[in-house]
Every structure is written in structure tokens, then in C-alpha cells.
């Protein structure tokens, strides 16, 4: 047991996560709930709106002129761990990721904080904001203000504005049959954070989890941008892996792009220890919710151990990116990513087939 674990300390201090039922992206509404809530909204059509609500995109994109489009997103959630500075960093990493997932660069951010000033010291709020601000600075963007209110539960996040050349915009809907699926980062932050909350992580494992949670997705986008001028010709689609888990986000992309997908479980990367924690029953509620929402469109070609399939549905906080890359360019992209220190693997392929259908194989 790690002695960083605050669970066994008989301190009267209120912990940041003590009121939190579902943490990070695990706190997201389920896909079905979201669909129901959004169903009644008017459909917005505008020639300049390059990405909106339709395909469950990561961010909205508005074309300003032929050379420039504005990318806007907002993301916030309850604390995923007890260290306020780290929580701020992680929430910011997660919010900034939406801009990268559209191929953009973040420029300007506003902070959003809900904070129970009676229950927690103000220094905690300051630490959360400092963590977020430091991360935004790392991303080369600026925080220029925000909004805070009192509330029973801590919530923190950012509204981020970024920019992208309209031709370099990466959406959910561009994947084509034959494209390889390239994934960055490792899976398992949902299970990992639960194990952290349970006090089961040693310092090394905790370090790797936190490092994954605070790694910006900027380097992946930069690495691919440096490949050539017309990367958009062979990087057809991109999204980030967050609350709906790997399967949920691949399913969204495959539905939006009208292709099916196959994922090779052998090529997936997992955070250290998470398979064993999942095997012992440390599976977040949202993973079951994701399984319920998405599993009916999934075929397992083999009978996989439960812990593997649990991780496919594990809600990710500040997860990696998924790219749909033209087959003949996949190796070059992989090389560029790994060459700039971004751990990436080809985890499967998009195929002609029923949109939203995913085969899980192991070759």
C-alpha cells in the first residue's frame, strides 16, 4: 500500500474526492441519456459551422475565412484525486485535448470553477486554478479569466478556444474503409483512478498514471503536422478517447464515417496494473454504463478474459488520440509519433461494413 493513500489517515480534513460519486470523465452522462436530452434541440445549420453537434464531435468549429477556423470546446468535471494542483492539471489536460482532437492549437482559455467555500479552504481552490493555469501555459495558450460560483461539489474545467486551418481540420466523420487506427497513450485511467482512490497504487504506478493524465496531446498533433504539408490527405479522422471509453469513441467515429471497425486486442497498450485491478473488481460504474450502451454493436471473435473487455469500456480521463490513417501512410505516421516521444500503436482498422459495428480480434 502506498503511504500517499489518504484513506487510512484519521484526519478531519475534508478530502477533495470525499463528496464525489463519479470522477473525471466517468462523471459524463451516458450516451443514451445524452441522446435523449439533445433530441429536442433545434438543428443548427450554418455554412460556416464546420463541426457541430451532429456527429458527437469533440469541439465546435466555425470557419472565419478560407485560411482560419475557430475551434471551441468546454469540459469540466469533479475531482479525480485529492491533490488539488494535480486535479487542476488533469482537468486542463482533458479540456485542451478537445482542441487537439480537431487538429487545432489552443490559444485562449477561460476557467470554470464550482467550489464549496464553507467546506474547503480557499487555498485548495487556488491550487486547482494554479494546476490548470500551469498546464495551459505548457500548451502555449493563455488563461484570460473565468467564472466561479459556490456549490456543494467541486467542479473545475476550461472553456478553450483554438484555431485550425479549415483544410487541416480533423473530424470524426472522415475515416475511410481500409484506414489503419492509430492510438496514442495507454488505456486504463478509469480503473487506475479507482485503484488510486482505493489506496492500492504504489508510488511508481501512481507516477505513471499521473504522468499519463497530465500529458498533453499536443506533441502527437505536432509530430503529424511535421510530416508534410498535406497531412489531411491521409489522416482522415481524429478524436480523443474520453468518457465513453475506447469502444464508445471508435463507435462514434465509425458511425459518423459510415464504416465498421476491427480492433486487435493484442496491440492495445494498458497502464501498469490496471488489468489486474479490473480482474479483482475495481471497475468504475461508467465502464458498465459504456458496456451497456455500446456492447451490442461489438462482436468478440474470441472469448476474451473479462478484464480485457472491461478495459475496452473503461472511461478515460485525458485519454489519448485515435487517428484514422490511410493504410500506406500508417507506418510513417507511427514512426513520426514514436520518434517525437509519443507512444503510439496501430490497434486496428476501419473496414467496409455496418457503421458502428466493431469486431474485437486477437491475432
Partner 1 sequence: MKKQLDLRGLTCPEPVLKTKKVVDQADVKEVEALVDSEVSVQNLARLARSQNLHFQSTRENGHHKVLISKDQTGTVETKHQTSTAATRDGAGGTIIFISKDSFGQGNSASLEKDHDFSLNLLNVFLQTVHQSGHEVRAVLLANSGVKLMDPQSPHQKVLSDLAQGGVEVLACGLCLDYYGLKEKVKTEQITNMFAICEYLFAADKVLSP
Residues making contact with partner 1 (CB under 8 A): 21, 32, 35-36, 194-195, 197-198, 278-285, 288, 291-292, 295-301, 303, 306-307, 310, 354, 356-357
DSSP annotation of 187: B
Q: For the CB of residue 234, give the shortest distance to partner 1 in the complex, in Å.
A: 29
Cβ proximity to partner 1: between 165 and 292 the closer is 292
Q: Is the Cβ of residue 147 or residue 292 nearer to partner 1 in the bound state?
A: 292
Residue with cell 478484464: 307
Smallest gap from residue 146 Cβ to partner 1 (A): 30
CB of 198 to partner 1, least distance (A): 4
For partner 1, the closer of residues 19 and 107 by Cβ is: 19
Helix (H, G, I), strand (E, B) or coil at 186: coil
The closest of 331, 329, 293 to 313, measured between CA atoms, is: 293
20 or 321, CB closer to partner 1?
20
Q: Is 118 a catalytic residue?
A: no
Neighbours of 246 (CB within 10 A): 26
Which among 86, 31, 84 is positioned nearest to 247, based on CA atoms?
A: 31
To the nearest whole angstrom, how small is the minimum distance from the Cβ of residue 254 to partner 1? 12
- Please, what is the minimum distance in Å from the beta carbon of residue 107 to partner 1? 38
Q: Which residues contact 217 (CB under 8 A, 6 or more apart)?
A: 96, 97, 100, 101, 184, 240, 320, 321
3-state secondary structure of 183: strand
Which C-beta is closer to partner 1: that of 225 or that of 285?
A: 285
Neighbours of 343 (CB within 10 A): 15
Cβ burial, residue 100 (10 Å; 0-12/13-18/19+): buried
Three-state SS for 334? helix
Task: Indicate the burial class of 19 (C-beta count within 10 angstroms; 0-12, 13-18, 19 or more).
Answer: middle
Q: Output 26 or 51, the one with its CB closest to partner 1.
A: 26
In angstroms, give the least distance from the CB of 320 to partner 1: 24
Element spanning 31, H or E: helix 31-38
The catalytic residues are 25
Amino acid at each position: 500500500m502506498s503511504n500517499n493513500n489518504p484513506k487510512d489517515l484519521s484526519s478531519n480534513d475534508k478530502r477533495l474526492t470525499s463528496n464525489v460519486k463519479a470522477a473525471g470523465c466517468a462523471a459524463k452522462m451516458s450516451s443514451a441519456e445524452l441522446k435523449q436530452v439533445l433530441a429536442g434541440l433545434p438543428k443548427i445549420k450554418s455554412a460556416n459551422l464546420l463541426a457541430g453537434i451532429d456527429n458527437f464531435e469533440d469541439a465546435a468549429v466555425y470557419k472565419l475565412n478560407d485560411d482560419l477556423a475557430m475551434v471551441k470546446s468546454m469540459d469540466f468535471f469533479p475531482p479525480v484525486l485529492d491533490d488539488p494542483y494535480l486535479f487542476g492539471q488533469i482537468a486542463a489536460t482533458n479540456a485542451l485535448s478537445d482542441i487537439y482532437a480537431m487538429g487545432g492549437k489552443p490559444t485562449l482559455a477561460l476557467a470554470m470553477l464550482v467550489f464549496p467555500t464553507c467546506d474547503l479552504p480557499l487555498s485548495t481552490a487556488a491550487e486547482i486554478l494554479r494546476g490548470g493555469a500551469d498546464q495551459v501555459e505548457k500548451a502555449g495558450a493563455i488563461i484570460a479569466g473565468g467564472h466561479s460560483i459556490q456549490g456543494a461539489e467541486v467542479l473545475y474545467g476550461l472553456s478553450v478556444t483554438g484555431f485550425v486551418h479549415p483544410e487541416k481540420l480533423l473530424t470524426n466523420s472522415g475515416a475511410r474503409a481500409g484506414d489503419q487506427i492509430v492510438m496514442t497513450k495507454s488505456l486504463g485511467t478509469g480503473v487506475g483512478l479507482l485503484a488510486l482512490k482505493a489506496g492500492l497504487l504504489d508510488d511508481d504506478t501512481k507516477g505513471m498514471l499521473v504522468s499519463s493524465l497530465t500529458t498533453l496531446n499536443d506533441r502527437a498533433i505536432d509530430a503529424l503536422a511535421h510530416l508534410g504539408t498535406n497531412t489531411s490527405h491521409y489522416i482522415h479522422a481524429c478524436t480523443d478517447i474520453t468518457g465513453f471509453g475506447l469502444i464508445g469513441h471508435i463507435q462514434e467515429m465509425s458511425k459518423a464515417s459510415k464504416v465498421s471497425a476491427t480492433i486487435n486486442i493484442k496491440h492495445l497498450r494498458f497502464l501498469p496494473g490496471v488489468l489486474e485491478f479490473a480482474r479483482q473488481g475495481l471497475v468504475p460504474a461508467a465502464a458498465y454504463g459504456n458496456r451497456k450502451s455500446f456492447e451490442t454493436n461489438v462482436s468478440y471473435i474470441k472469448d476474451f478474459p473479462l478484464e480485457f473487455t472491461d478495459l475496452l469500456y473503461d472511461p478515460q480521463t485525458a485519454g489519448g488520440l485515435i487517428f484514422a490513417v490511410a493504410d500506406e501512410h500508417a507506418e510513417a505516421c507511427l514512426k513520426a509519433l514514436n520518434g517525437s516521444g509519443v507512444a503510439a500503436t496501430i490497434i486496428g482498422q476501419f473496414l467496409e461494413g455496418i457503421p458502428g459495428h466493431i469486431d474485437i480480434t486477437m491475432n
